[in-house]
Amino acid sequence: LTGLSADTRLPITGKQSVAWEGEIDAAADGGTNFGKLDLTPLRLSSYVDISKQLLLQNGMGAQQAIVADLGRAAGAKIDAAMFAAANVTSAPGAIAGTTGVLTITEAAYSADASIYDDFMSAESKLAEGEGLQGNLAYVANPVLMKDLKRSAQVAAVSAGVQGNLVNGYPTFYSNGVTKAAGSADFLFGDFSKLYIGMFGGLDITVDPYSKAINGEVRLIVNQYIDWGVTQPGAFVKATSLTA
């Protein structure tokens, strides 16, 4: 959701129920499983001071490079909060920290095999709970990539890993996903159930005055964003052992 300027409330419809009834029997109450997701702007911010001499010698190229780096840094910070194992202070809630997200028990580590088994277990868990439907994808820590891709060669049997697809589902790797000694996390789920609210765009202010006495220009970045999951049961959080 882009271009937001005020707190936004999204209605959520949960699972309803139906039942077989006789020809003229009264219908049973299917339940009123309604909820809401509130998105409110949370601020991500930083600044960089650049010497005017650097700008004079390198033109706008130096400023543009720093602006691009600030944008990448903002994206990495968003990843680190969204895909963390637990909520990050002052940031929107982590997907894995949302009440109701499904979990699996990881397999004992086996080189080039167990991590793929964990991915299969996540698919099975989601199939049992919500069904394999929607905009399904994996997001994993890059540490898991090696074993996943080598698993396709075990016993000369294809394990369903082809490029950046695991069993046909897109697989993305992000350092924002939590890693620990001997383990790393991944998420599998329907990302159409994740709503991201952007309150304006990435706001970069060029301030030539605050640091003028030092011969510097200050670049200030602000981004206002929030996100949330409308159906936590559409996601599986998991930890794979890496040793």
- pTM greater than 0.85 (yes/no): no
Distance CA 137, CA 187 (A): 8
Distance CA 3, CA 19 (A): 42
Distance CA 84, CA 102 (A): 15
Which 8-state DSSP code applies to residue 94? P
pLDDT confidence of residue 206: 86
Q: How far is CA 48 from CA 52, 92, 119, in A?
A: 13, 24, 41
pLDDT confidence of residue 205: 86
pLDDT confidence of residue 169: 92
pLDDT confidence of residue 155: 53
Tokens of 47: 């600044």
Q: What average pLDDT values come out for the chain (243 residues) when binned by 10 residues?
A: 70 68 73 72 87 80 79 86 90 91 92 89 88 90 88 59 85 92 94 89 86 90 89 92 91
pLDDT confidence of residue 173: 94
Long-range pairs of 144-151 with CB within 8 A, sequence gap ≥ 24: 144/115, 144/173, 144/184, 144/186, 144/240, 144/242, 145/173, 147/111, 147/112, 147/113, 147/114, 147/115, 147/116, 147/242, 148/115, 148/116, 148/119, 150/112, 151/112, 151/113, 151/115, 151/116
